[in-house]
Amino acid sequence: MKKVEAIIKPFKLDDVREALAEIGISGMTATEVKGFGRQKGHTELYRGAEYVVDFLPKVKIEVVIPDEQVERCIEAITEAARTGKIGDGKIFVTPVERVVRIRTGEEDEAAI
pLDDT in tens, 77-93: 999 999 998 889 999 99
For residue 46, is pLDDT > 80?
no
Mean pLDDT of the 42-70 span: 83
Backbone angles phi, psi at 84, to 5 degrees: 90, 0
Q: Which CATH number fits domain 2-110: 3.40.1790.10, 3.40.50.1820, 3.30.70.120, 3.80.10.10?
A: 3.30.70.120
pLDDT at 7: 97
Rounded Cα distance between 2 and 89, Å, is 19
Q: How far is CA 27 from CA 4, 39, 72, in A?
A: 12, 30, 15
Rounded Cα distance between 76 and 45, Å, is 37
Q: How far is CA 104 from CA 16, 28, 112, in A?
A: 29, 19, 12
For residue 26, is pLDDT > 90?
no
For the chain, the average pLDDT equals: 91
Report whether 59 contacts 13 (CB < 8 A). yes
pTM confidence score: 0.85
Label residue 44 by pLDDT band (50, 70, 90). Answer: low
